[in-house]
Structure 1
Amino acid sequence: MPVPDAFVARSLDEIRFWSRIMKEHSLFLKLGFRCEDTQLIQEANYFYGVFEQIEQQAHAYPVNVDPQTIRAFNVQVQSAASHIWAFKRKVLGLILHCQLPGGNNFPLLVDHTSREANYFRNRLAELNEGRLDPLPDAIINENVFFLRIMADHAKFISHLLDPSERQLVDQARGFSYDFDQLLFQARDLESMRPQSHTVPLLDQFLDQNRVSVQSLRDFKRTARDLIEACRIKSIIHPLLADHTFREAERFLEIIDAFEGHLSLVQGASKEPREDEEQEGQGIQGVPGLQDHHH
Structure 2
Amino acid sequence: MSLTDQFVTRSLEEIRFWSRIMKEHSLFLKLGFRCDDTQLIHEANHFYAVFEAIENKSNAFTAGTDPAVIKRFNEEVFTAVSYIWAFKRKVLGLILSCQLPGANNFPLLVDHVSREANYFRNRLAELNSGRLEPLPDAIIDENVFFLRIMADHAKFISHLLDPSERQLVEQANHFGQEFDQLLFQAKDLEQMRPQSQTIPLLDQFLDQNRVSVKSLRDFKKTARDLIEACRIKSIIHPLLADHVFREAEHFLVIIDMFEHNLTGNSA
Larger relative contact order, structure 1 or 2 (CA cutoff 8 Å, min sep 6)? 1
Distance in 2, Cα, partners of 1:65 & 1:126? 19
Q: Which residue of 1 aligns with 2:35?
A: 35
Letter in 2 for 1:27: L
For residue 264 of structure 1, report the CA deviation from its aligned partner. 1.0
TM-score normalised per structure 2: 0.98
Q: Is the 8 A contact 2:4 2:67 kept in 1?
A: no
Identity over aligned pairs, percent:
78
Letter in 1 for 2:65: V
Q: Which residue of 2 aligns with 1:106?
A: 106
Q: Is the 8 A contact 1:3 1:64 kept in 2?
A: no
Which residues of 2 match residues 263-274 of structure 1 at below 5 A? 263-267=263-267
TM-score normalised per structure 1: 0.89
Q: Which residue of 1 aligns with 2:187?
A: 187
Q: Which residue of 1 aligns with 2:249?
A: 249
Q: Which has the higher helix share?
A: 2
Distance in 2, Cα, partners of 1:118 & 1:4? 25
Q: Which residue of 2 aligns with 1:139?
A: 139
Letter in 2 for 1:260: H
For residue 136 of structure 1, report the CA deviation from its aligned partner. 0.3
For residue 63 of structure 1, report the CA deviation from its aligned partner. 2.2
Which residues of 2 match residues 84-163 of structure 1 at below 5 A? 84-163=84-163
Distance in 2, Cα, partners of 1:5 & 1:200? 31
Q: Which residue of 2 aligns with 1:12?
A: 12
Q: Is the 8 A contact 2:30 2:44 kept in 1?
A: yes
Secondary structure of the structure 2 residue equivalent to 1:5: helix
Letter in 2 for 1:235: I
The total of aligned residue pairs comes to 266
Distance in 1, Cα, partners of 2:68 & 2:227? 44
Secondary structure of the structure 2 residue equivalent to 1:194: helix
The ranges of structure 1 where at least 4 consecutive aligned residues each deviate by more than 4 angstroms after the TM superposition are: none
Distance in 1, Cα, partners of 2:23 & 2:221? 21
Q: Which residue of 2 aligns with 1:170?
A: 170
Distance in 1, Cα, partners of 2:104 & 2:33? 6
Q: Which residue of 2 aligns with 1:210?
A: 210
Larger radius of gyration: 1
Letter in 1 for 2:181: Q
Q: Is the 8 A contact 1:4 1:64 kept in 2?
A: no
For residue 194 of structure 1, report the CA deviation from its aligned partner. 1.4
